[in-house]
Amino acid sequence: MIDEADDVQRTEVDESASTDQLEKDRQSSPILEPEEIEALMASMEPMEQAEALFASLPPLKQPENIESYNFESGEVDGPARYPLFVNLQERMAEFLKDQWSDTFNRDIGVAFDHMLEEGYRDIITDEKTRVFFAYTVEGYGPMMLAFDVPLIIAHVDAMLGGDGEACGEIPKALSPVERRLSQRIAKSLEKHLETAWEPVTILDFELFKIDTDPQFLSVAGATENCFSMYFNIQLDEKTTGSFALHYPRTFLEPMLDNLRSTVSDDAVVVDEEWKAAMEKSLSVVPMPIILRLGECSLTIEDFLRLSEGDYLPFQVNEGEPATLWVNNTVMFQAQAGSQDGVLAAEILNKVA
């Protein structure tokens, strides 16, 4: 009886262990076979597959404190990336300071304020009353300068022999006399602009409009960005104002590579050893030279009919100089001949 009880007990233990092992095997084995998973994934769209894969990943641990991130709203490719452009506009401000100081017979302060890339729509919808001088340059397009109205009124007063003051309420438009004398101010600004740009290129600025309403200037498209430079002008203790230069990107586009250069007054140091090594290396570079005796033109039909013994009509007189080419550039005129039994060319003159 004892043996039978032990056998029953051992049988129950074996069955329990077997059941536990099956449960472990079931938990450790995949729910689907690889072939079933492949067939299921094949029936899903790529986006669904990606979502399914992400859903199978364990959740990522999130930080306890998350602060909101504000993306930079500054200029990605604004005027600050073009040091030479900034330098040119600062030169323009210096010219303006000198010229206005002469007109007002006193020292006029001109100080840089800020620069930015801004939409043309934002410039023309600014409620501040200003006088706009719009210029155009052939091959580049229009640009404009903007002055606070009191600055122009004070400048006109100084031109007429006054103290250069702008008193009273700021008008919304210029009087006929102020507008006429603004033409003279515009001419001097035109010369300053041309002088400021000389280090980069020769630009011929031509005034096409003066207005206090920029809506009809058509300097740029409403959505186009402009490089803007702002300066503060101090006429006296009571009169101050701002002056701005606005260049549409389309105006600057042909010159942006040059404007990215930095400005330095340091003397250029030449490494003579490096220079000599470079010249020696370049002197042994092979250079193909072609002696071109003449050219002719044939139709495809005539070309296909060419055979041994045919002559090509080069239409070059016998004894007429040929040309010597280096790569794709003609360099010399030469006389074809022979020397030591091989074709040779005698150089006659250099082609300018």
CATH-assigned architecture of domain 79-259: 3-Layer(aba) Sandwich (3.40)
Give the residue range(s) of CATH 2.30.330.10 domains in the chain.
286-350
User: Where in the chain are all domains bearing CATH 3.40.1550.10?
Assistant: 79-259
**Better pLDDT: 122 or 1:** 122
Q: Which two tokens stand for residue 31?
A: 């729910």
Between 5 and 126, where is the model more confident?
126
Integer Cα distance of 256 and 270 in angstroms: 27
User: Residue 64's pLDDT is what?
Assistant: 74
- For residues 271, 274, 275, 281, the Cα torsion angle rounded to the nearest 10 degrees is 180
pLDDT reported for residue 202: 92
Residue 134 corresponds to which tokens in the numbers above?
A: 């719009």
CB 306 within 8 A of CB 340: no
Q: Name 67's Cβ contacts closer than 8 Å, sequence gap at least 6.
A: none
pLDDT, one tens digit per residue, over 164-176 is 877 767 777 788 8
Label residue 58 by pLDDT band (50, 70, 90): confident
How many other β-carbons are positioned within 10 Å of the β-carbon of residue 277?
11
Helix residue spans in 105-224 (DSSP H): 120-124, 149-159, 176-197
State yes or no: pLDDT of 69 exceeds 90: no
Going 59 to 63 to 67 to 71, the CA torsion angle's sign is: negative
Map residue 150 onto helix, strand or coil.
helix
* CA–centroid distance for 311 within its chain: 56
Q: Which CATH architecture describes the domain 286-350? A: Roll (2.30)
144-155 per-residue burial string, b: 16 or more CB within 10 A, e: under 16: bbbbbbbbbbbb
Alpha carbon distance 161, 163 (integer Å):
7
Residue 268 has pLDDT above 50, yes or no: no
